[in-house]
Structure 1
């Protein structure tokens, strides 16, 4: 689907190929988490999820840097076709190298119907607040990654190559740090027995909201990127905490279902509506001849980050109470 995007002759075909990419990716994370849950003990699972999640910042870093350079030199169509071909090679390697999935001991929980399991998880206050936090984080992350490079290009005069490198490189490096540090920290909190398994990422989201707001109105590009760093870190840092906490609430045999619901929260409404809202605000600002109209649209990112941080704080309190009762 990525390669077909490079052959698109209309906006509708290009949009269809992007839907296809999302459809193809959707099952990978829950399935991966299910395998991790079968092989890794809960007190070490945060680091395992963090290592697994390294694919996101690494892929984003390479995609921004290489994609920007290829777009400037050979065009965006060739860049998409090349990325799709590379994905096909990686898929073949994974098919051969990964081997069979570890067997799962049949449990009553894993045999429950989809809707019953979903409602059971969402009826738990801690998981429900985590789900709300995931929705808000999707509204923050999707526009941030979709429009950060165009913001640097339109507002600060970067080329595509410069924006890809200036944004993609620190995003990838902080993503690596965030997933690994978040995983180790989460494991330490789980072993401590306090049950407060979501406090640090919630606080980081609130800090990121403040710095990102300042970055959208910074006078020079390098200062904008510097002020965007906490947001780059927060999205990666949350991954092992969010999924690890969801697994603790769900219990053994429901880890993949818990991951699926968290992904639905972060990946359905936010990526579908967040960039659209930013685009509408930006276009309206441009039509009214307002300066930095894209920056105005991107204010949805810090607003959503604050809401996500507050929801995750609520989840932290409720999950701690639940774990103490067990």
Structure 2
């Protein structure tokens, strides 16, 4: 009962500050800009370091005499499992202590491991460095969200989360473009050395720009183990349906990003450069638009005080599901690309909504834990299993002489989008009821 009462008080306080909160703990003016700018750099850096092995995979494979299975282990399920599960203890540390300290240590740690990857002479050593990168990056988003929760007013947090998340699509674009170009010109080891050095500088810059975070009062929300805290959050129907939506969405996002370019190449005769330019450019644009627009609209939903904060992303996923079906079977290549836009937009649009809603339900002192659980839901099963399911369906359809077998496999994407939309609409209602009852 004590924990329920404490959580109710936290939620009541958060709701009372949705419109006007002038406590001195929050930052304004140039400090607000500096905090968000630093977090954006961290987000972009983490994405760059994460995807560099993808663009350099062939060069690394040839240099170290790796098999495709070893490359897949380094870049795929092993990284995803390490990244997702280690976020829980790091998130708990951020909630209970200084999220700035946790974030800076994570940046310095994964940047050092990225640089160490440049001296790898064997699969085992390279795998060790990638596990180190995954360990460090696992704490970046939870700690960043904890900083946002403590230093930025509640009615501005959606946009702050969106700008923080904007580093993901932009980091992806920079990583692929710069990583590929520098690797061709100077070698893959130079790329890793350079990325590690830049990371160390960004870590020090973050330490200066973010500044000390307000101390977190010891409450029922910040005591106990991270495992117990996770179970408490998942016991809430409102949070559980949001978590379910994140899991299902990952089964749309994982296969979509893995097979969209091969689909355009096989089905519509695009060259690799044409598919990369069309898909990559649109994805970058939709990533920026979705995170910023989603953040602004989420803040508006919070200020409305209705509690209905997930309606728009729920509807967008339903639209994306129908558009994705059309994209897979239209005979015109450019039309197929355009019909993929709602799906691209839905993923980025959901980012500030999903994390912002998770913070509302979790209450003060558990924002990083809430972020970590949503990360696990969206980053563990879908990216690891989703592409495999699509590949197996595609292979079976092709073996059965069904034309365009990959499009049959990719039908899992619109199916997952439609199910995500329904899950989010259920979560939308559950969250509104939960907030009213608390």
Task: Report the TM-score when normalising by structure 2.
Answer: 0.69
Task: Determine the C-alpha separation between the residues in 2 that align with 1:153 and 1:81.
Answer: 30
Aligned to 1:236: 348
Task: Determine the C-alpha separation between the residues in 1 that align with 2:435 and 2:335.
Answer: 42
Moved more, 211-220 or 6-15: 6-15
Could you say if the C-alpha distance between residues 144 and 65 of structure 1 is closer, same or farther in structure 2, counting changes exceeding 3 Å? Answer: farther
Aligned to 1:88: 196
Aligned to 1:18: 75
Segments of structure 1 that go 5 or more residues without pairing to the other structure are none
Could you say if the C-alpha distance between residues 176 and 82 of structure 1 is closer, same or farther in structure 2, counting changes exceeding 3 Å? Answer: farther
Task: Determine the C-alpha separation between the residues in 1 that align with 2:318 and 2:196.
Answer: 39
Could you say if the C-alpha distance between residues 101 and 18 of structure 1 is closer, same or farther in structure 2, counting changes exceeding 3 Å? Answer: farther
Q: How far did 1:66 drift? A: 6.2
For 1:31-88, what per-residue CA distance to the aligned partner results, in whole angstroms no more than 9, with x for missing partners?
2111111211221110000000001121233456667x759x959x96x656544532
Segments of structure 2 that go 5 or more residues without pairing to the other structure are 1-49, 84-133
Task: Determine the C-alpha separation between the residues in 1 that align with 2:382 and 2:339.
Answer: 22
Q: Do structure 1's residue 36 and structure 2's residue 144 form an aligned pair? A: no
Q: How far did 1:103 drift? A: 4.8
Could you say if the C-alpha distance between residues 162 and 81 of structure 1 is closer, same or farther in structure 2, counting changes exceeding 3 Å? Answer: farther
Task: Determine the C-alpha separation between the residues in 2 that align with 1:81 and 1:288.
Answer: 44
Aligned to 1:98: 206
Give the conservation status (yes or no) of the 8 Å contact 1:132–1:265. yes
Q: Do structure 1's residue 130 and structure 2's residue 242 form an aligned pair? A: yes
Which of the two has higher C-alpha Rg?
A: 2
Could you say if the C-alpha distance between residues 98 and 208 of structure 1 is closer, same or farther in structure 2, counting changes exceeding 3 Å? Answer: same
Q: How far did 1:139 drift? A: 0.4
Aligned to 1:54: 166
Give the conservation status (yes or no) of the 8 Å contact 1:135–1:265. yes
For 1:239-279, what per-residue CA distance to the aligned partner results, in whole angstroms no more than 9, with x for missing partners?
00000000000000000000011111111111111111011
Task: Determine the C-alpha separation between the residues in 1 that align with 2:266 and 2:181.
Answer: 19
Q: How far did 1:121 drift? A: 0.7
Aligned to 2:252: 140
Could you say if the C-alpha distance between residues 149 and 86 of structure 1 is closer, same or farther in structure 2, counting changes exceeding 3 Å? Answer: farther
Task: Determine the C-alpha separation between the residues in 2 that align with 1:286 and 1:88.
Answer: 43
For 1:163-215, what per-residue CA distance to the aligned partner results, in whole angstroms no more than 9, with x for missing partners?
11100101110110110000000001101101001000000000000001100
Q: How far did 1:146 drift? A: 0.9
Aligned to 1:314: 426
Task: Determine the C-alpha separation between the residues in 1 that align with 2:348 and 2:437.
Answer: 30
**Alignment coverage as a number of residue pairs:** 322
CA RMSD of aligned residues (A): 2.3
Show the 5 A alignment for 1:154-169. 154-169=266-281
Moved more, 171-180 or 284-293: 284-293
Aligned to 1:186: 298
SS of 1:98's equivalent in the other structure is helix
Task: Report the TM-score when normalising by structure 1.
Answer: 0.92
Give the conservation status (yes or no) of the 8 Å contact 2:151–2:214. no
SS of 1:275's equivalent in the other structure is helix
Q: Do structure 1's residue 7 and structure 2's residue 60 form an aligned pair? A: yes
Give the conservation status (yes or no) of the 8 Å contact 1:63–1:168. no
Q: How far did 1:236 drift? A: 0.2
Could you say if the C-alpha distance between residues 38 and 162 of structure 1 is closer, same or farther in structure 2, counting changes exceeding 3 Å? Answer: same
Q: How far did 1:12 drift? A: 2.6
Task: Determine the C-alpha separation between the residues in 2 that align with 1:65 and 1:213.
Answer: 30
Moved more, 151-160 or 22-31: 22-31
SS of 1:203's equivalent in the other structure is helix
Moved more, 50-59 or 1-10: 1-10
